[in-house]
Amino acid sequence: MTKARPQGNGSSGNSPDRSDLTDSEVTGFLNRNPDYLCRNPDLIDALQLPARDLGGSETRIVDFQHYMLDRLRGDVHEIKQRHDNLLETSRCRQQTQSRVHFAALALLGARSLSHLIDIATTDLAVLMDMDVAALCVETSDVPRVTADGVRLLPSGCIEDLLGKRDVLLHEQATGDSRIYGAAAGLVQAEILLRLHVRDEPPDAILALGARQPNHIHMGQATEALGFLARILEHCVRAWLELP
């Protein structure tokens, strides 16, 4: 008669280990503890599992090995997906942070307000790996500058676009002509950053658009993008001599 000795958390009482357990005792134990192998997965490596041949039609044999392999394949696939998603998110955040650093240095190097706006509406698109950039304010009370790219929005538009958020990512978007003008048709994904230039209106936003949907990801470093907005605010206040 085959002998077996269950181990682990499923033993009942404080009886000492036995080496003379019968098949029926082991079977009874497993029937009373159906989650025993889930609590002791290492024991599976020590088991001799049934072959794939299930026998005749009148014989009821459970293909335990096939079941375990399917479950393990599913676990491995799920772990791999999580691993790949984590790597992609980490890579995306690192790239965003690196781009924000270069973009911040470019903004800080502006030699005038016109130069600053030119950097914000032209260079930032390249530095942030996007296709179009726009600087928008809600009123016409802005300094006269020679740079293109500053667009006027109707009052309340920024609140409608961003709500209470300072950073908003759209993996798939339809370009807004009020923001991007003639380039709106190209925009399939976008980043919107609220700018707090002063305590009172006008409110402003920096918009970055991409021509490919899903070019940006929700896992991008929103903290770094918020930092970029704060740098631009600082530079605008400095050139306008605002507190």
Within a domain: residue 126? yes
pLDDT score, position 14? 46
Within a domain: residue 119? yes
Query: In the chain, how many domains are there?
Result: 1
Within a domain: residue 193? yes
- Which percentage of the chain shows pLDDT scores above 70? 76
Q: Which domain holds residue 140?
A: 83-240
Within a domain: residue 36? no
pLDDT, tens only, 151-200: 888 888 899 999 889 999 999 999 999 899 889 999 999 999 999 887 77
* Assigned token pair, 69: 């392999």
pLDDT score, position 227? 94
- Tell whether the model's pLDDT for residue 216 goes beyond 80: yes
Within a domain: residue 233? yes
How far apart are alpha carbons 97 and 104 in whole angstroms?
A: 10
Within a domain: residue 116? yes
Maximum mean pLDDT: which of 48-52, 63-67, 99-103, 135-139: 99-103
Where do the DSSP E strands lie in the chain? 132-137, 150-152, 167-170, 189-195, 204-210
pLDDT score, position 3? 44
pLDDT score, position 108? 95
Within a domain: residue 67? no
pLDDT, tens only, 50-67: 555 555 555 555 566 666
Within a domain: residue 41? no
- Domain CATH code at residue 224: 3.30.450.40
- Tell whether the model's pLDDT for residue 145 goes beyond 50: no
Comparing 177 with 140, which gets the higher pLDDT?
177
Comparing 172 with 40, which gets the higher pLDDT?
172
Comparing 221 with 22, which gets the higher pLDDT?
22
